[in-house]
Amino acid sequence: MKIQAPYFARRIVHGIAILLLLGGWTSSRNADLILGSWLFPARQSTIEVYRENGQYFGRLVEVGAAYQHKLSGNRLLFTNLTFNGKEWNGGKLIHPSSGTQYDVAIQLTNPYTLNVTVYKGLRCFQKNYQLVRK
């Protein structure tokens, strides 16, 4: 049986178009895996991650009892993060008590764990934190 070239070519073009569409959908879906409530065990606080205009933000929504005298809830913690396919970066972490801003990068190590890397000045001065899904 001989396959007609125009029919075969159309099938290939349709297949490629579907893959491209699904690839874009999967990428945005993967970027949204960061959304939700995350527990910061070291401070016994909860951070709510949300998306606005294609960028990701984190808000401090609950503060542990030991830190309530220093911090209040509903405070913006990180801003303007974008997803590059493997991590969220390009944004700033705002220190909740001083207001100082630092570069930040976030990686999802598994569906329940975020690794947050905060850079102070040069990239060689960094501190890592782990958040767990609440």
pLDDT given for residue 40 in this prediction? 87
Q: Give pLDDT, residue 129.
A: 93
Lookup: tokens for 42: 């070291």
- CA neighbours closer than 13 Å in the CB half-sphere of residue 29: 6
Unique residue bearing structure tokens 């991590």: 87
Give the model's pLDDT for residue 21: 44
Spatial CB neighbours of 46, under 8 Å, sequence gap ≥ 6: 37, 38, 39, 40, 60, 61, 62, 134
What lies within 8 Å, CB to CB, of 97 at 6+ separation is: 70, 71
Residue 15 has a pLDDT of: 52
For the chain (134 residues), the mean pLDDT of every run of 10, in chain order, is: 57 52 52 94 88 96 74 83 95 89 96 95 88 94
Query: What residue ranges define each of the domains in the chain, with the CATH number in brackets?
Result: 33-133 (2.40.128.520)
pTM given for the model: 0.74
